Structure 1
Amino acid sequence: MSVSPSRATAFDILLRVEQQDAYASELLHSSRCAELSLADRALATELVMGVLRWRSALDVRIAKASSQPLHKLDIEVLTALRLGAYQLGWLDRIPKRAAIFESVELVKKVRKRSAAPFANAVLRKLADTSEFAHESLPQAADPDEIATASSHPSWLVHRWASHYGMETARRICAYDQSIPVTTIRLRSPAAEQELQAEGIELAPGNFLVDARRVISGDVTKTKAYNAGQVAI
């Protein structure tokens, strides 16, 4: 079994972010992603943005399951572990076997074959840990606990808790980690019909008359977007 295009693409993008300070949003709209099917492109985007959004929380979980300190791991191995851990803890629709197997295959792909058994052991340990699954933020009285669970800097959560109270700080963290909705502005009345004809599902915006929320579909691949009739 080979690595799926979506996971291979997500892995390469995450590595470039780590090694070259590249921008994930730009890479997700690169020619490589354009070659993926709509389903693979959607999964690659979910994996990249999910790992980046929850990276510190993932590292806490990986560190507990690892026999080695994370700073001693090659970045390729750590990136594969993050990718696998995100699928195990955050994506219920991904079979555990696929998440583990393909993450280990990614380690082999970048010539870190000797680390493959280690990666396999860490991910299997995470998969067998019942409390590993991601849940909503705890109703905690401890800012550090909220910071860890929400992948936020501890000092920032302490500051919010001090200024706004613990519950508001928790809600800010939860909102920060919510997946943003793509919103567009229509520059012509005909643009909406053109988008819908290309399979884009839209809903009214919350504030502006010419704003629309994208429910499904990739607006950047449409004729209306490329013709400048739509702004994101």
Structure 2
Amino acid sequence: MAKYVLRETALTLLTRIGEQGGFSHVLLDQEINKQQLSRQDGGLLTEIVYGTLQRRDLIDYQIQPFISKQKKIKPWVKWLLYMSVYQMEFLERVPDHAVIHEAVEISKKRGHKGISSFVNGVLRNVQRKGLRSTDEITDPVERMAVETSHPKWLVERWVAQYGIDVTRDMCEANNHHLPMSVRVQPLQISREEAMNTLMEDGFRVEESIFSTQGFIVLEGQILKHPLFTQGKLTVQDQSSMLVAEMMDLEPGQRVLDACSAPGGKTTHIAEKMQDQGEVTAYDLHEKKAKLVTKKAEQLQLTSITATKADSRKLQDIHEQETFDRILLDAPCSGLGVLRGKPDIKYHKSEEDIFSLRKIQDELLEHVAPLLKTGGKMVYSTCTVDRHENEEAVQLFLTNHPEFEIDPTFEEGLPKELQGSIGKSEYGLQLFPQEWDTDGFFLVRMVKKG
């Protein structure tokens, strides 16, 4: 694909994501597949889109002196400036003159001479004068918010919960690439065999400490490799792999996965049980429940039944004390996955955290009676907010004295994680900067006899 066309595609995607609320990871995947982009072109498109989204607020702050006289700027022009400045400042392999030339050509095609002159003028000024410094922002929290392109309300919230140092490290980590990790289907292939095969084919891989089935792909196109296309591997973040590892599973158990789509954890549960037993999976949307079924079929797992249902009403379907294990991977704000979905930080509000917490409380309340006495329940989220995590667990335990944090929870964690900075009396909070994963929370509770 010509670089001009690639950048025009990047601009279209950024405008859709930034102005219409499209999901970055979904739109990018669709575009790469639709245009059948090469690995190199797909990588550059992803870099421009994700990088621009990750640094949006910083770039906006930096270019204000050059655009302040312009009364109204069309959204696509604004995003063209953002992505051009991102390439000039953060992508060393792209020469400034090429970025400016292509931005001007795009603006000529999409707009008129006045717009192309404006774009050319702003970018030439950036090249000549350099960008505005953040040193003039005196409030340290506001400066951090601008420098790392996170909403100020979010930075303030994290600073109040975790302190300024952890927050700074988290915000900076959110602007860096998340390494891809995969999980073997152990009934098809061992981790060692899969890693050896990939290394022979020129991949760079290393074992994950989070799961005996997991490894990290440092170099190589895994999605086109036969191991992946044949259903012997599945993509899953390391932090997410920890869930099934911590469920204390055995073959023959009855397990409920209350919020199962798209099926990564569900299928991992079935694998840990050697595909022996019953994994009953639900999702609120039929389309998403079908994704779980499809994932199970791809991995040749037969113990999973996925159905559409509201898990707050499962007592209408199942008797109390039906399941040996329950996973509640609750709907959440998603603030732990900003590395792979950077647009989330601009679309979420503080109110979302509180409204989601109500759903989390309701789900805990309604699935808990379905657990057998002596059974274990894992509560997990892909967020880093205490209100959705430790505070939700604390309230549940206060209202349900028949439950307690499993006394063996911590010793069951991989030894490297037992001293994690996010370990608390109510669970384990994984931060993206600590293990180069998504931000994630989980805890295992037991129903006392």
* Partner in structure 1 of residue 412 of structure 2: none
Q: C-alpha displacement at 1:156, in angstroms?
A: 2.2
1:111 aligns to what?
Answer: 111
Q: Residue 15 of structure 2 corresponds to which residue in structure 1?
A: 15
- The question of whether the paired residues in 2 share the 8 Å contact of 1:83 and 1:103 is answered with no
Residue matched to 1:55? 56
Decide whether the 8 Å contact of 2:62 with 2:131 is kept in 1: no
Q: Percent identity?
A: 28
Shift of 1:41: 1.0
Where 1:4 maps in the other structure, the secondary structure is: helix
Aligned to 2:234: 231
Larger Rg: 2
**Is the alpha carbon distance of 1:14 and 1:162 closer, same or farther for their aligned partners in structure 2, counting shifts above 3 Å?**
same
CA RMSD of aligned residues (A): 2.8
CA positional deviation for 1:226: 2.6
Q: Which residue number corresponds to residue 157 of structure 1?
A: 155
Partner of 2:90: 90
How many residues align? The count is: 226
CA deviation digits over 1:180-226, x for unaligned, max 9? 11111122235445545665432222322221212123322333323
What corresponds to 1:186 in structure 2?
184
Is the deviation greater in 147-156 or in 206-215?
206-215
Gapped runs of 5+ residues in structure 1?
none
Q: Secondary structure at the match of 1:26?
A: helix
What is the CA–CA distance in structure 2 between the aligned matches of 1:26 and 1:198, rounded to whole Å?
Answer: 29
CA distance in 1: counterparts of 2:40 and 2:59, whole angstroms? 25
Which position in structure 2 is the counterpart of 1:147? 145
Is 1:80 the counterpart of 2:80? The answer is yes
- What is the CA–CA distance in structure 2 between the aligned matches of 1:169 and 1:45, rounded to whole Å? 26
The 3-state SS of whatever aligns with 2:29 is coil
Q: Which moved more, 1:213-222 or 1:198-207?
A: 198-207
Any idea what the Cα deviations from partners look like across 1:21-45, whole Å, max 9, x if unmatched? 3222122222545522221111111
Please tell me whether residue 219 in structure 1 is matched to residue 217 in structure 2.
no
Local SS of the residue matching 2:92: coil
- The equivalent position to 1:202 in structure 2, one of 184, 202, 205, is 205
> Aligned pair in 2 of structure 1 residues 122, 195: CA closer, same or farther (>3 Å)?
same
Alignment of 1:32-43 (within 5 A): 32-33=32-33, 35-43=36-44
Q: 3-state DSSP class of the match of 1:203?
A: strand
Q: CA deviation at 1:141?
A: 6.7
5+ long unaligned stretches in structure 2: 236-449
Moved more, 218-227 or 42-51: 218-227
Corresponding letter in the other structure for 2:8: A
Q: Which SS does the other structure have where 1:77 is aligned? A: helix
Distance 1:196 1:105, change over 3 A: farther
Equivalent position SS for 1:82? helix
Shift of 1:50: 0.5
Alpha-carbon distance change, 181 to 3 in structure 1, aligned in 2, over 3 angstroms: closer
Q: Residues 41 and 198 of structure 1: is their aligned pair in 2 closer, same or farther, counting only changes over 3 Å?
A: farther
Counterpart Cα distance in 1 of 2:39 and 2:112 = 30
CA apart distance, 1:64: 2.3
User: Measured at CA, do residues 28 and 221 of structure 1 come closer, stay the same or move farther in structure 2, by a change above 3 Å?
Assistant: farther
The 3-state SS of whatever aligns with 1:36 is: coil
